[in-house]
Structure 1
Amino acid sequence: MTTQRIRTGYAGTGPGPITPDGCAVELYERLQVGDEPEVIERAVPAGARILELGCGVGRVTHPLLERGFTVTAVDESPEMLARVHGARTVCSPIEELDLGERFDVVLLGSFLVHAGDLAVRDGLLRACRRHVADDGCVLVQREGEGWHDRVPWEREAQGGIFRLASSEPVGDGVNSVRFDYVFPDAAWSQVFLSRPLTDETFAAALAGAGLSVDAYLTEDRTWVRARPVVSGGR
């Protein structure tokens, strides 16, 4: 077993490399993709150039490539990026990224917008705006309302048990959340910080980065399409 703590408030345990935000590379290697590719495909133009921020091992990247999109995949973990194939890859913290180019679509998935550190969250959204074309869009994945309120809970999924073990306030509207993932042959845990966002605080965070809500893409409002605010326009 290995333990690594790099970002304050984030940690992970279990076999294999652990990323700075506590994600276990080998865990994400075995997890299946959900409905994210379908949601994205319905929301953006066919064949769009997509900048995927926080791509991990490519669970979403690879299905998007299969659907005919061109993807530039960004992650701060070289161990994660080593699992991505068929896409241009860039190793960088998202908030520091500046590629000097614009994309039809910028994708910020994995609930990253709930970063506990306000400076990091705002940096993520500014990176989205910095890289999206003025006539393009940003797709953001949000946590569902009250996701971490019912503790503990667990469910069987993908051959293992996913367990929300704890969610504790740590001040300034931030929760410290622990998830456990138990499989017959291995187990992992992740501790991360999450700042819940109402629709109003989410919209305000977008506005601070020069973005505005265009549409909620799913009934549970976890997927949002935002548009750049341009002079004389939206």
Structure 2
Amino acid sequence: MAGSNLRERGVSEHETSLLCHELLLRLAGRLPDEQLWRYRDWLAGDAAEVVARSLPRDLVRERIMLTDADHRLLSDAVLPLGADPAVVDAVLPGDEPRWDDCTFAAESPAGGTGDSEVLVLGATLRGRQGIHEVRSAWRSRAGGAVAAGLERVVVVTASADFAELAGEIQRILRALGEQEPRVEVLTPEMEPTVYHRAALAESVPICAGAEELVGHRAYE
């Protein structure tokens, strides 16, 4: 079904995967972490059709509002993959989200950067082709129930294999005990959101890859 929809619309699986990845980036900090990491895991595992069927329903259920531009992105990403047009149309319209309840800090709860996640990510991703840099920030939310009120956000600037890279890093973090990993793999074409700019501005480097940075200089 999804394959025939893609052929009818003249788009490729690679194109829809990129659109879905960008859409999930746009939803970072808005869609609950427990849902967002699963969508990224499905997308990395070639289950984009599952994302297309389920994501619009979650947006409606969570009452997450989308701008006109984000709604067009949603339609372009999920309709070719077999999403229900009626559910897509039911997603609420709204303005750009505000982040009054969300702040970032570079300092970890332990007061250092020598934790196991940093060490393993550095060893795995240092010098990797397709990656410019891997950075870490700590996010806090008003009324958050996480210990110490902080949650790690990993922000990666990359040039290729965005969804696959996000899935790989998520699996590493889950193996290290992070139940809901927050991994943002930015694409060169996408303008970072306010959420990503805030995270980058308060981030520290984990490691550098083999690629030169193009764009995404908000943290410099």
TM value normalised by structure 1: 0.24
Query: In proportion to residue count, which structure has more helix?
Result: 2
TM value normalised by structure 2: 0.25
Q: Which structure ranks higher in relative contact order (CA pairs < 8 Å, sequence separation ≥ 6)?
A: 2
